Amino acid sequence: MTNEQPQPVTTVPSFPPSWIDADDLAWLARCERRIWLDQRSVHPPPVTPTADARARMALRAAHKQRILAGIPNLEDLSALDWSERVIQTRRLMQRGAAAIAGAALEAPLADHTLRGAPDLLIRTATTSGAWSYRPVAIVLHTRPTRWDRLLLDAWRWLVRQTQGEAIDPPGELWLGASGDGPALVKRQSASLAPFTAQVWRAAVIATREAPPVWFDNDHCPFCTWRTACDAAARETRDIALLPGLSRRQGIALRQRGIHRIEQVVTLEPGVLATLPDRLPYGGERLRLQAQALLSDQPQPTSTGAPQLPHVGFFLDIESDPLTREPWAFGLAGAPGDRMIIVVDPTSDGRSTALNGVPLILAPDVREGWRRVLAAVQERGGRLAHWGEAERLMLEQSAEPSVHRKLAPLLVDARHELGVRVVLPTPRLSDQRGGGLKAIARWLGCTWSPGADHWTLAWEAYQRWVRQPSPLAAIEMLAPAIVYLIADVEALAAVWRWLEAFVGSISANDGLPDWRAYRDTAATLEC
């Protein structure tokens, strides 16, 4: 959403609010700056979550509803307003309802009120013959995070206060999906003694100095303050813009009084060597990243990387966002040499074309991998992809014989680029800086509306496979084809730029010809 402008923060008197939302406590483990901005603002800026965040929110909501739909005797209060939900939740808990969704809990804590909305409350019998409730957090991911556990502790504390119990009730994390139920259940029963200190910490954040900016792509895309943080970081040239900086490294640098990118350029090697989370290519890489951002020019590394492998084909895969099972393979070779393989269980492996792009309909994902292998073998050379996802999907979803033949041909373009050059692509609230789209956009590639987000391709594919005769409705796949082609050709463009860049270094005895890289970027077709 490039037309969004950061909004000014309207401040209020610096005292803690009278109520604290349990969701805010989760931000203690995510981003304290979010809490500070929320508590000091009367009107948050009208910035919506990114397209990726909206898609993830929809997936999580659908997952939660599937889980709740399988709970017997469920009382659902989610349609009521908050005050009525609080009243009805207490009545249902007193009555002993078997399961409650959409519950609303409030309890006083010192001069504040903590409130929270557990995903689910389940009645459990006690030794005295009465009953109590345990809160449940329903999450789509399979590894519990710190904020999952913190939010569940908030719900546990609220259940204890509501029930007037002398002991801390347990809670449960329902992780992942297995049919209509969770894939894994983790019980949480640790003491809640430290919990009030965490609540107070959230309450007083607004009275203190603003916490520093930190970009986290698992959280920032959901935040209404993201463009304001982008603007603040750019204005001050904050170290949060460095794409290779880990959170612990950022904390260590700030503790040394290092907050701006230009300070990183002058760091002594000894200081870089003491930072936690050592970078894969050495601490010197941080300095190179700072130089790249300040100069807006790529910086070659001095790792002595081997010669670039010869790549004949490029691969980009689209997968089911829940199962990670591939449903489409995008392939590109020389300019104009493109191919798409789409999984269609009703097909017999026939070939067709859509918008001038050869299209193969594979009956299953294994046949899709067989077609990928055949295409690579026909053209020769290696097969470049971006990151580890494709290699993992090959291992998990291809038949063993195909995996044995194809795995040695794979080339991780992200790794090959990373060991040779550092690019002036900053980390921001909606990009990691080292991502394919950020790099391709820096080179001049553009994504047209309808080809700029994976949800457009996934939704088109979902609508298409539900047709009685998918082959007769092949034009419905057009958005998916456009998206896949745009991504795989962006990968090819980045690789060709890398080849030209490495070649310019060799031709100039280690000093790249900046005009050559600019000219190459200007002529790329993505």
Which DSSP string corresponds to 124-175?
EE-TTS-EEEEEEEEESSSS--HHHHHHHHHHHHHHHHHHT-SSPPPEEEEE
Distance in angstroms (rounded) separating the CA atoms of residues 211 and 511:
40
CA atoms of 438 and 444, how far apart (whole Å): 10
Q: Which superfamily, per CATH, for 237-295?
A: 5' to 3' exonuclease, C-terminal subdomain (1.10.150.20)
Separation CA 426–CA 231 (nearest Å):
12
pLDDT confidence of 513, banded at 50, 70, 90?
A: low
Six token digits for residue 340: 């798409």
Could you give the CA distance from residue 340 to residue 478 in angstroms, rounded to a whole number? 11
Give the pLDDT mean for 277-292.
80
Take residue 148 and report the two structure tokens written for it. 């999952």
The tens digit of pLDDT for each residue in 434-473 reads 889 999 999 888 887 766 688 889 999 999 999 998 888 9
Query: Among 12-21, 73-82, 129-138, 354-363, which stretch is predicted with the lowest mean pLDDT?
Result: 12-21
Confidence (pLDDT) at 417: 94
Helix axes 146-163, 82-95, angle to 10 degrees: 70
pTM for the model:
0.84
Nearest to 286, CA basis, from 305, 301, 308: 301
Name the least confident of 40-44, 221-225, 414-418, 498-502.
Answer: 40-44
Residue 13: band (very low, low, confident or very high) from pLDDT cuts 50, 70, 90: very low
Q: Does 3.30.420 match the CATH number of domain 311-523?
A: yes
Chain centroid to CA 166: 40
Rg (CA), the chain: 26
N residues, the chain: 526
Whether the CA torsion 461, 465, 466, 471 is positive or negative: it is: positive
CA 230-233-239 angle, 5° bins: 130
Number of Cα atoms under 13 Å in the Cβ half of residue 324: 14
Identify the bridge partners of residue 363 per DSSP, sorted by sequence position. Answer: none
CA angle 177/180/184 to nearest 5° reads 40
pLDDT tens figures, 463-509: 999 999 888 899 999 999 999 999 999 999 999 999 998 888 766 65
Find out if CATH 3.90.320 is the number for domain 19-206.
yes
Q: What is the rounded distance in angstroms from the CA atom of residue 90 to the CA atom of residue 84?
A: 10
Largest CA distance in the chain: 83
Among candidates 140, 95, 135, 94, which has minimal Cα distance to 117? 135
Structure letter (DSSP) for residue 300: E
CA dihedral 498, 499, 502, 507 (to 10 degrees): -140
Question: For the chain, what is the mean pLDDT?
Answer: 88
Q: Is 35 exposed, middle or buried (0-12, 13-18, 19+ CB in 10 A)?
A: buried
- Per-residue model confidence as pLDDT tens digits over 144-183: 999 999 999 999 999 999 998 888 999 999 999 888 899 9
Please report, for residues 53, 217, 238, 413, the alpha-carbon distance to residue 212 in angstroms, rounded to integers and kept in the order given: 23, 16, 9, 33
Q: What average pLDDT does range 99-104 have in this prediction? A: 97
CA terminus-to-terminus distance, the chain: 21
CA 420 centroid distance within chain = 26
Q: Does the pLDDT of residue 342 top 90, yes or no?
A: yes
Provide the strand spans (E) within 158-252.
171-175, 184-188
Q: What pLDDT is attached to residue 3?
A: 37
Q: Which of the four pLDDT bands, split at 50, 70 and 90, describes residue 45? A: confident
pLDDT in tens, 133-144: 999 999 999 999
Sequence-separated (6 or more) residues with CB below 8 Å from residue 436: 386, 414, 487, 490, 491, 494
Distance CA 113, CA 86 (A): 13
Between 229 and 52, the more confident residue is 229
- Of 174-178, 200-204, 372-376, 411-415, which range is least confident? 200-204
Is the model more confident about 163 or about 512?
163
**Phi/psi at 512 (5° precision):** -70, 150
**Percent of the chain having pLDDT more than 90?**
61
What is the pLDDT at residue 311? 95
Query: Any bridge partners for residue 314, and if so which?
Result: 332, 384
Residue-wise pLDDT tens digits, 351-362: 999 989 999 999
Q: What are the boundaries of each domain within the chain?
A: 19-206, 237-295, 311-523
Sheet holding 105-109, edge to edge: 19-21, 112-116, 105-109
Assess whether pLDDT exceeds 70 at residue 9: no
Query: β-pairing, 311-319 with 382-385?
Result: parallel
Model pLDDT, residue 232: 96
Residue 5: what pLDDT?
37
